[in-house]
Structure 1
């Protein structure tokens, strides 16, 4: 599609309206909200990690209301079965009929996804990547748009199962939800204990959201910026000659080609949300963290020295800047 200045202005107005409406129900977390919206406009899945009680579930519900999308919530537990997620064939009038599960929705909240067994977690793999569900010998197409917004508690907490690498790679972003500041905590307590919360209104719908996704895909990216992004991805691989020392020392496995696709898609949306008509080096740097933090697998030495993925990403970006002055 050919986009016009009118299309871009409409996109920016809509995003500002969505941000304002979400802020009525969620105190603080502005960076998390923006990153969630970027992922949604890439039709990507998001993994939210944080200790219980930080409002992760409330954030997803609020976004669902504002975007006016079909919404379903799956509470993952150790006894949850794959059929409880995707659906199953049942006997009806002497023949088998497919009864769809809660995954057949525009927005699926997979709450505490790492509390389910690996067998049930794997039931989400096809849905998250292919946007389809296969039961028996028949494949069913999921509605559009479709994305999974999953929450998980930190792995070290009891009763959790680490997500397999193949499933982690299917999340466009991994976002770390931090504990609120003292000012934000005061506002949260005031909002939730002294009065009724404001009614959350819908700002857009699935049809308009799909148009916004199409607009974002048309945002140009200059070759030097594209090359810079690819250098960042390659630098996550310890076997690469161009990798910095921190990668070779602490990284076991680097990002997949899916990570390269993700950083470009996300950078395009961020550029639009910032009111720009082209992707900048800064967009690549900012999107590197949510795109790569779950795609860089650290070795035992990194864990023993408390080196995090974010620390490695920061050093990779600094190294890329030193090698490419245009990326300053």
Structure 2
């Protein structure tokens, strides 16, 4: 575990020692062997490719038989570990806001035919294929991001996405439970700014916003270029032939010609060192037209109307990328 010195109210070594004591208390069976095994994984100078190699690390001071016994019969209380992680220093943005990020990382196990609950994981650049589905275990990680251009993150939760799990519901529950732990441990108070949750493409932003509507969170989700959004219809117009008022206004298809888009509410232009001219446009109070199939067939009662979930669509364009790819 690493702790950024600028985030700690106490001396970093003292915070790290406190975490190590708490982590040992989370190990209920074969605790000492599991604790040394964790140190061996973290301190290994090379990638760990086989379990028996860890018995040769100086941090593991037991025989290789104790290593296998710890893996086979050891037991960890994950609920207690999650609470312990929530008590560690949590980074904040410049304005004092907690910024969380959620993403799925796959542990590929193509040769483990007898391993249970494997799923097909879509990966790019695996072997000679540009994109392939490889059997493995996908894990949903939730981390607190440090401000600025840094790769340091504070992992707060990790859950395996089992076959049959609804990834959107699992992500919503993961955010809800993590936020509850941050509130219990005093990292967030009632008058603090909303927690910002950042997600990559592949997440259903509209459904996540609907599932988390009761929480003090704001979602920033990268969306695919084939998505379609609508403005509000404005004042209802009743015609003589009857019919209910329209629920959707002008159409914003991200893949369509920009001349067909409605006018944006905000526009900024800046010159950057890495990307050249950067332009940002945004449209407020946009929503998607939901259909009663998939999760929306069960999330909403058949007698209820499908919700209208508002959000802001932000489009960022740059002149060039550092990798010289087409922006």
What is the TM-score of this pair, normalised by structure 1?
0.26
Bigger RCO of structures 1 and 2 (CA < 8 A, at least 6 apart):
1
- Going by fraction, where is strand more abundant, 1 or 2? 2
What is the TM-score of this pair, normalised by structure 2?
0.26
- Going by fraction, where is helix more abundant, 1 or 2? 1
